[in-house]
A and B are shown apart, each in its own frame.
Chain A
C-alpha cells in the first residue's frame, strides 16, 4: 500500500517543473523514469520560522535556481511567504520566463492580494512575449543558416545559443533538446564538458535525475587535456552526482559523493547549489546512512570536508554528538533546523526520511550496550517534547512506546517491551536451544520435502500425473471396457463425503 502511494508520489513533479515537463512532450517518459525519489508529496506547509535570513540566503545563488528556491519558500512557508514571493516576482520580472512570472504573481495574490506586486503586469508580459518570440525566430533562423553552410562550430554555437534562450524562457524540454544536439558538433573535450554541464543543469531543473547521473558519468569519462579545467570541473561533478543520488534516495552513495566534493567548489556552482548545501546534504546523508566509526573516519576526520562543515557548524556538532552517543543534543539540533531544511528545494522531500533514519539509528545505537533499559530513561533522551509530557511517555499508548513497537515489529529492534517493569529487554535467547530448534525444524522440512519429491518422481514414473480431458477419457474407457472386478466398483460413487 505504502509502496503504491510512493509510486504515485514519484510521478508527481515538483511544482516548478510541472509546466515545463508538460511542455517537454516526448521527454515525459524519461522524466518519470528518472524521478525515482521522494516519500512526501510536493506540497509542504512549514509554519515555523526558519533560522536563515531570506536575503542573505538567496544571495548564495545565481541563475534560475534563485526563482525556484524563492517560489518554493514562498509557497511552503507561512512565515516567509509574502517576502519570498515578492522577491520571486521581482526575480521573474528580471528574467525572460513568462510562466514563472504568472505563477509567482498568482501565488502572491493568494496570500497577499493587497501587494502591488500581486497585480499582473499585462503590458510587460505582452512585451516580453513578443521579444521572446522574435528572439526564438531569429535564433532558429540563424541555426538553419549554419546548418546549410555545414560549419560545425557555428552549428554548435547556434544550438548553444538556442538552448540558452529556451532555458532562459523556461522551455526546458526544448532547451534539453537543443543542448543535446550540440553533441555531434563538439570538436574539443572542453566543448563536450561545457555541453554536458548545460544538459545537467537543465536536467536538474527538470528533476530528471537519471539523465543527471548518466551525463555525470559521461563527464567523468572525458579525458580533458588541461588539468586545471578538470580540477575546476571535478567538484561540480561530485556535487551534481550527489544531488542526483540524494534525490533518488540513495543516501549512502549521496553522502559519499558529497564527501568527495573538493572545497575548491566554493561558489563556482551557485547556479545549482552552494557550499553550505554540500555541507548540509552531505552531513545529513552521512548521519542517516553511516555507523559511528564511519562517521568519525569519513566525515569528522575528513580534512577536505571539514572546510564545508565549517560553513554549517551545527551539522558538525550534530555528527560529533552522534559519534559520542549524545543522541538527545544531536536530535535537538536537527529538530531546530527542520524548518530550514523543509524549505530547501532539494531536501524538502527527504527531511522526514532522513530524520527518521537518524532517529532510528540513534535508538539502535543507544541500545547496543544494554540488556535492558528502562523506558523512562529512554524517553528522557528520545522524547523531545516538553518535560510536562514526559510523565506518561512510557504508557502503552504514548507516541514513544508506539514508535518502539513499530520498530520491534518491523524487525529494526531485536528487543521486547516489558510493561510490567517498564523496560525494554533485548532478545538474547539461548543460542544453543535456538539452533537445536532450528535444526529440528529443518529436519522435519527435509523429511517432508524428500517425501514430496520421491512421491512426485514415482507419480511421473507410474504415469499418474494429472492429464487433460482427452487422455483421461481414454483411461476411463479402458477401465470400463476391461474386466469388471466383481463388486469393487460399487463404491466409486460415495455420496456426501464430509469431514
Chain B
C-alpha cells in the first residue's frame, strides 16, 4: 500500500538543470497529472504518522508531493486539535521542522504548479512563529523561500510579510537579500498574459507565470506595495543606509494616485524629510509633477527616453504632504539654514508629533547629523583651519575645542569628512584641519568606482529586463492600456464628488486614506 503510493508520489522527480531527456511538454503534462493526483482526497490515511512519508521523500526532488503531504498533515493536525496552530506546527514541532526544511530546499520549477499552496505554507509558518512571539524564526525561512522561488522583480504579499517580520524581530540584515532586489512588477490578471511558454520551461519569464490566478500573492491593494517600500525603508534606516532608505521612500511618495493620498504616503514623506537630512544634510528637492493622464502616454515610450529629473509627484499630493508635514518642513528649513537654535526649538515644539509618528529616533539623530554637515560645509569655504576656528564658525552642540576635535577626528577617521588632521608641535598646541577638495585617496576612489559600477550594472540589467517584461505585458494589451488610461481619466472625475462625501462618514472603514481636499 505505502509503496504504491510512494511510487506515484516519486514518479516525477525534478529535472536537473539543462536536462533534455524529458521534453517540456511531457514534463508539463506529468506535473499536471501529479497535481491532480495529489489533490484527490484521502490520498493517505489520516492516521498516518507524518514522518512515515516525509522522511522518505526528498523535498528538493519531489517538491510537489512533499508539499501536498505536508499540507495534508497540517490540515489533519488542525482538524484534530481545532487550532490554527497545533503544537506540532509550533516552532520546534515536528511539522514545523519539515516545513522549514521544505521551504529551504524545494524545486522552484515544480512549485510553479502549486504556488498557491506554497504561499499558504509560508504564511502558516509565519503565523506559527508570530503566535509564539518568535517572529525571528519565520524571518530567515521566509527569506530563504523567496530567494529559492526566484521571482525576478515581482512584488507579492510574501515580500510584505518578510519586511514585517524583519521589523517585528528587529533583525534587519537578514532581509537585505530581498529588499536589495529591485521590485517593479505585480502579479497580473491571467487574461492579460498571452504567451507560448510552458510553466516548467526554464526559459519562461517569471512574469508570464505569475498571475493573480496562480495565488502567488494574496489580493493586493495599493496599501501593500506602499507598506512594503515604507517598511523596507525602515529596515535601511535602522542600518543607517540612507541612500537605499531614500530610494524606497521615493517609491512610496511618488506612487501614482487617483485623487487620494494614502496615509502611508504621508508617513513616508515625513520620514523622507528626516532621511534626507540625516543622509545628505539637505532635502533634495523633489517637487515633481506629472499628471495622471500623461502616464499612459509615457508608458508607451518608456524605452524612448527617461527624463533626467524625477518629476513624479502630482501637485495635489504635494499640497497634502506640505500641509500635513509642516513641523518636519520647519525643522528641515532650520537644519539647512544652519540655524541651530531654531532647529532645537522646532524639535521641542514637535515632540508630540514625532512620538505619534514614531519618528523620535530619527529626530534625535538630527543633532549629530547637524554637527556633521556643519563641518562638511566648512570644507566649501575653508581649505584649512584650526579647531578653535571650527568651534567658532560652527554653532554645533559641542562645547569645547576638545569635544569638537574628538568629533571632527571621528568624522575624518570614519571617512565621512574628506580631510586630514595635523597636530602642531607644541604641547597643548592646536590641531589643524585641512579639508581636501578631491574626494578620497586615489586608490580608495578606484575601489569606490568599481563598487558603484558593479552595483549600477546589476541594477541596470534588472531595469532593462523589467522594461522588456513590461513592454511584453503592455504591448500585448495596448487596447487594454488605452482603456486603462481612459477609465482613469473618467474615474478621476467621478471620484471627486464621491470621495468628499465618503471621507466625512467613512471613518470607520479605514483610516489609511485621506480625501483629496484635506
Known: A472-B221, A486-B124. A466 touches B226 (CB 8 A): yes
Q: Say yes or no: is A453 at the interface (Cβ < 8 Å to chain B).
A: yes
Of B310, B449, B460, B509, the contact of A440 (CB 8 Å cutoff):
B449
Chain B residues with CB below 8 A from A409, complex form: 380-381
On whether the beta carbons of B124 and A479 are closer than 8 Å, the reply is: no
Q: Say yes or no: is B206 at the interface (Cβ < 8 Å to chain A).
A: no
Q: Say yes or no: is B54 at the interface (Cβ < 8 Å to chain A).
A: no
Known: A396-B389, A443-B452, A468-B513. A416 touches B185 (CB 8 A): no
Chain A residues with CB below 8 A from B237, complex form: 499
Q: Say yes or no: is A449 at the interface (Cβ < 8 Å to chain B).
A: yes
Can you report 18 residue pairs joining A to B where beta carbons are below 8 Å apart? A419-B385, A444-B243, A448-B250, A448-B310, A454-B184, A456-B295, A458-B186, A459-B225, A461-B470, A461-B481, A462-B188, A467-B260, A468-B515, A469-B260, A469-B509, A473-B510, A488-B157, A497-B167
CA distance A473 to B383 in the complex (A): 60
Q: Say yes or no: is A430 at the interface (Cβ < 8 Å to chain B).
A: yes
On whether the beta carbons of B510 and A429 are closer than 8 Å, the reply is: no
Chain B residues with CB below 8 A from A458, complex form: 184-186, 470
Q: Which of A409-429 contact B (CB under 8 A)?
A: 409, 416-421, 425, 427, 429
Known: A409-B381, A416-B382, A461-B481. A447 touches B459 (CB 8 A): yes
Chain B residues with CB below 8 A from A472, complex form: 221, 509-510, 512-513
On whether the beta carbons of B225 and A464 are closer than 8 Å, the reply is: yes
B165 to chain A, nearest CB (A): 9
Q: Say yes or no: is B93 at the interface (Cβ < 8 Å to chain A).
A: no
Nearest residue, chain B, Cβ from A469: B502
Chain B residues with CB below 8 A from A8, complex form: none
B250 to chain A, nearest CB (A): 6
Q: Say yes or no: is A150 at the interface (Cβ < 8 Å to chain B).
A: no
A224 to chain B, nearest CB (A): 51
Interface size class of A (residues with CB under 8 A): 35 or more
On whether the beta carbons of A425 and B383 are closer than 8 Å, the reply is: yes
CA distance A497 to B267 in the complex (A): 13
On whether the beta carbons of A417 and B383 are closer than 8 Å, the reply is: yes
Q: Say yes or no: is A460 at the interface (Cβ < 8 Å to chain B).
A: yes
9 A-B pairs besides A447-B460, A452-B250, A478-B219 with CB distance below 8 A are A416-B437, A443-B456, A454-B184, A460-B295, A460-B296, A460-B299, A465-B255, A468-B503, A488-B123
CA distance A479 to B260 in the complex (A): 21
On whether the beta carbons of B120 and A485 are closer than 8 Å, the reply is: yes
On whether the beta carbons of B495 and A468 are closer than 8 Å, the reply is: yes
On whether the beta carbons of A487 and B381 are closer than 8 Å, the reply is: no
List A residues at the B interface (Cβ < 8 Å): 396-397, 405, 408-409, 416-421, 425, 427, 429-430, 433, 436-437, 440, 442-473, 475-476, 478-479, 482, 485-491, 494, 497-499
A467 to chain B, nearest CB (A): 6
CA distance A450 to B251 in the complex (A): 11
Q: Which of B6-20 contact A (CB under 8 A)?
A: none
CA distance A447 to B308 in the complex (A): 11
On whether the beta carbons of B182 and A451 are closer than 8 Å, the reply is: yes
On whether the beta carbons of A421 and B384 are closer than 8 Å, the reply is: yes
CA distance A471 to B255 in the complex (A): 17
Chain B residues with CB below 8 A from A489, complex form: 218
Mark interface residues in B237-274 (1 if CB within 8 Å of A CB, else 0): 11000010001001100111111111001000000000
Known: A458-B185, A487-B123. A447 touches B222 (CB 8 A): no
Nearest residue, chain A, Cβ from B127: A490
Chain B residues with CB below 8 A from A471, complex form: 491, 495
CA distance A450 to B131 in the complex (A): 40
On whether the beta carbons of A408 and B238 are closer than 8 Å, the reply is: no
Of A447, A457, A469, A487, the contact of B470 (CB 8 Å cutoff):
A457
On whether the beta carbons of B221 and A416 are closer than 8 Å, the reply is: no
Nearest residue, chain B, Cβ from A488: B123
On whether the beta carbons of A490 and B130 are closer than 8 Å, the reply is: yes
Q: Which of B467-509 contact A (CB under 8 A)?
A: 467, 470, 473-474, 481, 484, 488, 491, 495, 498-499, 502-503, 506, 509
